[in-house]
Amino acid sequence: MGEKIYVGVDLGGTTIKVGLCDAKGQLLKTYEGDTEAQHGAEHVLSNSAAYVRKLFDQTEYDWDQVEGIGAGIPGFMDIPNGFVKLSPNLGWRNVDVKGTLEAKLGKSVRIDNDANVAALGEAWGGAGAGIDNLICFTLGTGVGGGIIAKGSLIQGFAGMAGELGHLNVVPEDEAISCGCGKKGCLETVSSATGIIYMAKQAVADGAETSLSSLESITAKDVMDAAKLGDQTAIKIVHRAAFYLGRAMALMSVTINPQRFVVGGGVSKAGEYLFQIIDHYYRELAVENSQEGVDIVPAVLSNDAGVVGAAGLHLFG
Ligand SMILES: [Zn+2]
């Protein structure tokens, strides 16, 4: 029997990506197929198992080398029992993922939600490799998060640890409603959705900005306009970065991470955005909690989920 390998399943609403990792979190091989969520959970899990088998057919690795299988799934989980309690993206309620996949594949299966798994992927084989205390923020349609402390993924009492998009950071008088049912969450300002909302508000309020000439506004439009010196866009970017900096400052005295990894579509604005985030973080975080701490971009992009899922057996 050769080296130990780990299988990851990144189960999305439209695509299932499966992959093999070595013990260092390096992705060896991937395979992708359609989810076909409309046919129900049993069908989707059969597809997942079939894609894992197809992946193996294309490699020289032996099935005996597999230490375990991990699955990252969007939604709310009962992690210890391996159940998906609710996944609006997949249309699932109370699905026994662990039991079903273990029966189909004959290996131990662990699950977690997609944001935690993506964070674990970066921590294990990406921008956080070798760092034991790490926090990830994913700035996409919403804001995802993940916390690695002492080398373990923190899942919490009910699996809600790391739901950093719902850190309550915006003061009452400026807070708007969040999809979670509360007001003032980080994702209402620092996600692509939040940035677009602020831009539309500014245009509606008659602000002088190049954004007002656009038919529809994306977060990238706002970033690009800010880089070109558009004062309205600059204000919006600073507001998004300020609240992310505040969230990081809060996390600094909670977990005291050595590194913050920021990924997702918004993070593609690059150095320009990272400098502003860093500025607010340094301004807001207690000095001793920020010493030696850095903020870096995610590197795994679309592979973070499958790598992290594979890592659940080592870190979950
Ligand atoms: Zn929320």
d(CA 214, CA 196): 12
Q: Are residues 137 and 169 in the same domain?
A: yes
Residue-wise pLDDT for 77-108, tens only, equals 898 899 999 998 899 999 999 999 999 999 99
Q: Are residues 48 and 185 in the same domain?
A: no
Q: Are residues 144 and 112 in the same domain?
A: no
User: What is the domain extent for residue 183?
Assistant: 130-298
Q: Are residues 111 and 199 in the same domain?
A: no
Q: Are residues 96 and 160 in the same domain?
A: no
Q: Are residues 152 and 233 in the same domain?
A: yes
Q: Are residues 169 and 233 in the same domain?
A: yes
C-alpha of residue 168 to centroid of ligand 1, in Å = 8
C-alpha of residue 194 to centroid of ligand 1, in Å = 12
Q: For tokens 């921590």, what's the residue?
A: 123
C-alpha of residue 42 to centroid of ligand 1, in Å = 31
C-alpha of residue 32 to centroid of ligand 1, in Å = 32
C-alpha of residue 215 to centroid of ligand 1, in Å = 28
- Note the pLDDT of residue 76: 84
Give the phi and the psi of residue 208 in degrees, each rounded to 5: -80, 110
Burial grade of 161 (CB within 10 A; 0-12, 13-18, 19 or more): middle
**For the residues 180-192, what does the mean pLDDT come to?**
96
Q: Are residues 139 and 288 in the same domain?
A: yes
Q: Are residues 179 and 253 in the same domain?
A: yes
Neighbouring C-alpha atoms within 13 Å toward the C-beta of 180? 19
pLDDT at 292 over 80: yes
C-alpha of residue 277 to centroid of ligand 1, in Å = 21
C-alpha of residue 44 to centroid of ligand 1, in Å = 29
- Note the pLDDT of residue 289: 94
Neighbours of ion ligand 1 (CB under 5 A): 166, 178, 180, 185
C-alpha of residue 110 to centroid of ligand 1, in Å = 27
Residue-wise pLDDT for 20-68, tens only, equals 999 999 999 999 999 999 999 999 999 999 999 999 999 999 999 999 9
C-alpha of residue 185 to centroid of ligand 1, in Å = 5
Q: Are residues 238 and 101 in the same domain?
A: no
Burial grade of 181 (CB within 10 A; 0-12, 13-18, 19 or more): exposed
pLDDT at 180 over 90: no
C-alpha of residue 94 to centroid of ligand 1, in Å = 23
C-alpha of residue 181 to centroid of ligand 1, in Å = 6
| Residue 237: closest CA among 285, 189, 176, 305 | 189
**For the residues 217-226, what does the mean pLDDT come to?**
98
Q: Are residues 145 and 178 in the same domain?
A: yes
C-alpha of residue 142 to centroid of ligand 1, in Å = 9
* CATH number for position 59: 3.30.420.40
The token duo for 125 is 């084989």
d(CA 68, CA 181): 37
C-alpha of residue 101 to centroid of ligand 1, in Å = 32
Cα angle, residue 134 at apex, residues 82 and 189 outer, rounded to 5°: 85
- Tally the domains of the chain: 2
C-alpha of residue 176 to centroid of ligand 1, in Å = 10
Give the phi and the psi of residue 216 in degrees, each rounded to 5: -135, 145
Q: Are residues 97 and 140 in the same domain?
A: no
